[in-house]
Amino acid sequence: MRTLLMLPLLLLPLTAQAASLLPGGDYPAPDCRSPLRPLPGDSPMDWRMYRSDMEAYRQCVEAYLATARQDAERIRKRMEKAVREYNEESGNL
């Protein structure tokens, strides 16, 4: 019986030249913008706005990371399914 032991290979880092199944060939960058830091002499209101903007920035990055982790998990499950299906079929040879 032939068994495909690809899973460890699939977990290895891919080189920059590797083909991608992602649309456009790359995972999208986050759409989060870092706020401009006020200068040391700027008003307390400027600093409060900056802290508020930094909180929004943090939340945006955290949401991006959560989505990216979910996408990675879906990809991992599809990879495992492909290997499992191949192994099942190759056992019929």
Neighbours of 50 (CB within 10 A): 15
More confident residue, 83 or 11: 83
Instruction: Enumerate residues 6+ apart whose C-beta is below 8 A from 54.
Output: 35
Model confidence over 7-54: pLDDT tens digits? 454 545 544 456 788 888 889 999 999 999 999 999 999 999 999 999
Q: Are 2 and 93 in contact (CB under 8 A)?
A: yes
User: How much is the pLDDT for 17?
Assistant: 54
pLDDT band per the 50, 70, 90 thresholds, residue 3: low
If phi > 0 it is left, if psi is from -120 to 50 it is alpha, else beta; for residue 18 that is beta
- The tokens for 60 are 């945006």
pLDDT band per the 50, 70, 90 thresholds, residue 70: very high
pTM to 2 decimal places: 0.70
